[in-house]
Homo-oligomer: A and B are copies of this chain.
Amino acid sequence: MTIAVLLFDDFETLDVYGPVEVFGRLTDLYTIKFYSLDGGQIKNRHGVSALTEKLEYVYENLDIFIVPGGLGTRKEVENKVLIDKIKEIATFSKFVLTVCTGSALLAQTGLLDHKTATSNKRAFAWVVTNGANVNWNKKARWTIDDKFYTSSGVSAGIDMVLGFISDRHGIEFARRIAFEIEYSWNEDKDNDTFQVE
Tell me the bound Cα distance from A27 to B48 in angstroms: 13
Tally chain A residues at the interface, Cβ within 8 Å. Answer: 42
CB contact under 8 A between A47 and B32, given known A155-B183, A182-B194, A183-B155: yes
Question: Which A35-94 residues sit within 8 Å CB-CB of chain B?
Answer: 41, 44-51
Question: Which A100-158 residues sit within 8 Å CB-CB of chain B?
Answer: 120, 122, 152-156
B31 close to A47 (CB less than 8 A)? yes
Tell me the bound Cα distance from A130 to B18 in angstroms: 29
Could you say which of B41, B153, B181 contacts A182, with CB atoms under 8 Å apart?
B153
Tell me the bound Cα distance from A157 to B47 in angstroms: 18
Residues on B with C-beta less than 8 A from A181 are: 14, 153-155
Residues on B with C-beta less than 8 A from A152 are: 182
Question: Which A7-37 residues sit within 8 Å CB-CB of chain B?
Answer: 12-14, 16-18, 20-21, 23-25, 27, 31-34
Question: Which A137-196 residues sit within 8 Å CB-CB of chain B?
Answer: 152-156, 179-184, 186, 192-194
- A109: min CB distance to chain B, Å: 25
With A16-B17, A152-B182 given, can you name 10 additional A-B contacts, CB distance below 8 Å?
A14-B21, A18-B18, A20-B48, A24-B44, A34-B48, A49-B50, A120-B182, A154-B182, A182-B194, A184-B186
21 A-B contacts, Cβ less than 8 Å apart? A12-B21, A13-B17, A16-B17, A20-B46, A21-B46, A24-B44, A24-B45, A24-B48, A25-B46, A32-B46, A32-B48, A34-B47, A49-B51, A51-B51, A152-B182, A153-B180, A153-B182, A154-B180, A179-B194, A182-B194, A184-B184
Query: Which residues of A are in contact with B by a Cβ distance under 8 Å?
Result: 12-14, 16-18, 20-21, 23-25, 27, 31-34, 41, 44-51, 120, 122, 152-156, 179-184, 186, 192-194
